[in-house]
Amino acid sequence: MGRSLRWILITLALGTPVLTAAEELPPLPEPLSLADALAFTRSDVPLIELAQAGREEQAAALAEAQSLTGVRMGVVGRLRAVDVARYSINRDRNDSDARLAVSKRLYDFGYSDAREEAARLAGEGGEWRYLDARQEAHLEVMQRFLDVVLADLQYARDNEAMAGAFIAADRARDRHELKRLSDVDLAQLESEYQEALRLRMQSQTQQRAARSRLAIAMGRPNELVANLIRPAAPDLAAPVPDYETVLAEIRESNPEIRALRAEVESARAKVEAARNDHGPVISGELDASYYNRETNTTHPFGASLVLEVPLLTGGAKDAGLADARAKWRASQARLAAAENALSQEVLDLVLRLGNLRLTIEGLKVRGDYRELYLDRSRALYELEVKTDLGDAMTEISAVRLDMAQAEFDWMMTQARLKALAGRLLPEEATK
């Protein structure tokens, strides 16, 4: 068992997060498969870090809401000198004191409960958004990996085309020297070669750019992989899923929709909290005091039941309630818009699967034809008969590129449907 595979198994078994220090990261396998690219992706890519920060912020908001009914304790010390009254028995001018106070909110007519419920529901939405971010990072690595494979195939096609154009231009120069080809025809072939050379160089730069995008998606921007393993062709035997069935399932389990639903309920709870804000509050207090100068009105211990009833808020309560209602309404509108967009996205993906199946079947026929055409061109070439062998080889490379593009589109479409259902990641697919 190789070192890289052992590291992956240990990580999965212990549940440890992927290391973040660049010097501690295990080297990438060579060549790199899609499974390896996903396994070796760092867990602290910006998309996931933003979602994690949101989770932590919502956890802090929940803790703050829960603290409203928590026990509070404080100490107050005061250094004070007084001008003693004429009738006072105690003539000490030092009137310093220290006070320890413990208080707890006992009842606030639903305000703290509504605040806590709103924070808890927002936290649930954050968990769904965290799952959505992890899925998006997964899809990004998949797409960037497949883009590298496509860039290599495109380079192979353009390299074949450039080689064919070079041979044609080289032969044209010989014929031109023998006065068997006009200047115009030679210039045309030279121009075609230069254009093919430009496209080939452009494809070569795209290979480098695609590898850089893959490295960034994996959170390892300085590690460009030279060789990749092309994923196996997808299984097209399974029928295209029924739109209504898939949509019903996705509507219930889509992470974005579930996050928005939680946010709608959180906004509703915030309306209830705003309705009870600036309302009566009943608290219990205990205090222990030490006085340097004791009098008839000082006491070492005390207990109180405090009722606070705001009479005027200057319009703050009405403004807060109006703001909460507006945010609740906005959250409902965002949910409705997202549900409409989801329905359309699912329909587009299902229809794309049907179209891609027809495209792949057509490319298989086209590939068989091009293979036969290439065999004939080779035979004619060996017989030294005028042939378009270069064009035939270029067409084969073009068919391979188109087939890979269609197969990868199929894979990504299936993956996006799984992501919409919240089942893209292996640990979520089993739930």
pLDDT per residue as tens digits for the range 401-413: 888 899 999 999 9
CB 303 within 8 A of CB 286: yes
Handedness of CA 234, 235, 239, 245 (dihedral sign): negative
**What domains are defined for the chain?**
31-80+93-429 (1.20.1600.10)
Q: Name the least confident of 77-86, 106-115, 163-172, 266-275.
A: 77-86
Check whether 65 has a pLDDT greater than 60: yes
The predicted pLDDT at position 236 comes to 83
Round to whole Å and give the CA distance between 11 and 24. 13
The reported pLDDT for the residue numbered 391 is 57
Rounded average pLDDT over 356-382:
60
Q: pLDDT for 177-228, tens place per residue? A: 888 888 888 898 889 889 989 999 999 999 999 999 999 999 999 899 999 9
Asked whether 208 and 151 are in contact (CB, 8 A), the reply is no
Q: Are 269 and 135 in contact (CB under 8 A)?
A: no
From 142, 38, 424, select the one nearest 256 (Cα to Cα): 424
Q: Chain-centre distance of CA 205, in angstroms? A: 28
Q: In whole angstroms, what separates CA 239 from the centre of its chain?
A: 29
Residues 6+ apart with CB under 8 A from 398: 157
Q: Which residues contact 247 (CB under 8 A, 6 or more apart)?
A: 342, 343, 346, 347
R_g of the chain computed on alpha carbons: 36
Tell whether the model's pLDDT for residue 428 goes beyond 80: no
Map residue 290 onto helix, strand or coil. strand
CA nearest neighbour of 286 among 266, 306, 270, 272: 306
pLDDT band at 376 (very low <50, low <70, confident <90, very high): very low
Please tell me the distance from the alpha carbon of residue 218 to that of residue 228, in angstroms, as a whole number.
14
* Per-residue exposure over 326-335, b if at least 16 CB sit within 10 Å of its own CB, e if not: ebbeebbeeb
- Candidate from 256-260, 393-397, 410-414, 427-431 with smallest mean pLDDT: 427-431
Which tens digits make up the pLDDT trace of 4-53? 433 333 333 333 344 444 447 788 999 999 999 999 999 999 999 999 99
H or E element that contains 282: strand 281-291
- Compute the distance between CA of residue 154 and CA of residue 147 in angstroms, rounded to an integer: 10
Residues 118 and 262: their CA atoms lie apart, in Å, by: 9
389 vs 415 pLDDT, higher one: 415
CA atoms within 13 A on the CB side of 24: 6
What count of other Cβ atoms lies within 10 Å of the Cβ of residue 20?
11
